[in-house]
Amino acid sequence: MLVFFAFVVGAVVGSFLNVVVYRLPAGESVVHPPSRCPSCGHRLGPLDMVPILSWLAFRGRCRYCGAPVSARYPLVEALTGGLFALAAWLHPVPDVGLLLAWGFTALLIALSFIDIDHYILPDSLTYGGLALGLLGAAIWAFPVGWSEAWQGALAAAGLLALIGGFANLVLRRGASGRPGFPVGLEHVYLAAAVAAWFGWGWGVLAAAAAVAVNLARRRPLPLPDALTLGAAVLGVLVASYGVLPLGVLESVWAMLLAAGAVALAGGLYWALLPEEEEEEEDEEPVAMGFGDVKLAGMLGAWLGFGPFLVALAVAVFAGAVLGLLFRRRKLPFGPYLALGGWVALWWGASWVQAYLAYLGLS
């Protein structure tokens, strides 16, 4: 009965997610006005909005104007219902943990379809999901404890930010990206460089100092990406020889935490900053969008860092397979990360333990 109830709840939530996916990227309210037919504008009644069944009953058409209704509406409803039901089967206790798992699932579905449609991952969903994950960890220790959650959020965001930084450096043949003011990606790389040598707290302080210098100068301070990223790698190499107070693993961990802290803080700054009209500039070649970094932070808060690595591995594998199947269509990375995150929520920790046991470390 719980599984059946979960499917019904999920289908209803999926109906709402269709509204979120359609309206949120357009900057419209997701609660007002009431749902209408996109073709004729007629307000939809209760019979028009029964998840899955309404679409089947009216044969995929608006019953007022006869315009076709996309099959993706019942698909999202069925997908959400199915994943809610599977979550109830995997967590057969109707408690707060199951509600959190449903919330996590709904966020991932909404983010995935928005990314597919618009190649964006809205800050309201990524940071909202990050906050919900930290709240669940702090109050209910679900799915992970508080320490694992905040460290996982920072390290996961830092890892993806640095992967993107090195990839961009190769893509641009060593050239730096356009500096941000007062905070940009160059401060993420600076934090990683200093942290690799002296610890993650010093890395965050160095980035904060650079931002303060920018504000005092009223223009960006040049920080070449090749220099900061190279210094980060050099710090890890030097730590591996036992020269620094930090061990090599401590150096890597500090680098990830500092990079993630500055990336998420900087991203939040730009999310809260009122949008201003800017002069059109040529788009820079990028290997990875910054929305993926924020999504990684959200996943790290829910999963912890070890299971996040499982999520990342699943995402890369799924991206490789589906990329070969859909060669003619550009597919964003967000849906793959979402898939990996959902898999890792249930099996990530056990897979990590099994791998450590295989290595003789657990």
Average pLDDT over residues 88-107: 96
pLDDT for the residue numbered 62: 83
Distance CA 141, CA 302 (A): 10
Distance CA 257, CA 204 (A): 9
Amino acid at 6: A
Paired strand residues for 43: 36
The pLDDT tens digits for 15-48 are 999 999 999 998 888 878 778 877 777 788 888 7
The fraction of the chain above a pLDDT of 90, given in percent, is 73
Residue 330: burial class (beta carbons within 10 Å; 0-12, 13-18, 19+): exposed
What is the DSSP code string of 115-164?
HHHHS---HHHHHHHHHHHHHHHHHH--SS-HHHHHHHHHHHHHHHHHHH
Question: CB–CB of 157/296 below 8 Å?
Answer: yes
pTM reported for the whole predicted model: 0.94
pLDDT for the residue numbered 330: 72
Average pLDDT, the chain: 92
pLDDT for the residue numbered 223: 93
The pLDDT tens digits for 282-305 are 677 777 889 999 999 999 999 999
In sequence order, what are the residues at sequence separation of 6 or more whose Cβ sits closer than 8 angstroms to the Cβ of residue 180? 186, 187, 220, 266
pLDDT for the residue numbered 208: 97
Residue 186 has pLDDT above 60, yes or no: yes
Q: Is the peptide bond before 38 cis (omega within 30 degrees of 0)?
A: no
Four-CA torsion 16, 135, 162, 217, nearest 10 degrees: 100
Name the least confident of 13-22, 41-50, 183-192, 311-320: 41-50
- CA dist 187 → 46, 209, 243, 250, 308 (Å): 51, 10, 26, 21, 24
In sequence order, what are the residues at sequence separation of 6 or more whose Cβ sits closer than 8 angstroms to the Cβ of residue 182? 211, 214, 215, 220
pLDDT for the residue numbered 274: 61
Residue 197 has pLDDT above 90, yes or no: yes
The pLDDT tens digits for 40-73 are 777 888 887 889 998 898 888 888 888 888 899 9
Question: CB–CB of 59/89 below 8 Å?
Answer: no
pLDDT for the residue numbered 47: 82
Question: CB–CB of 296/337 below 8 Å?
Answer: yes
Residue 276 has pLDDT above 60, yes or no: no
Distance CA 130, CA 152 (A): 11
pLDDT for the residue numbered 41: 73
pLDDT for the residue numbered 281: 56
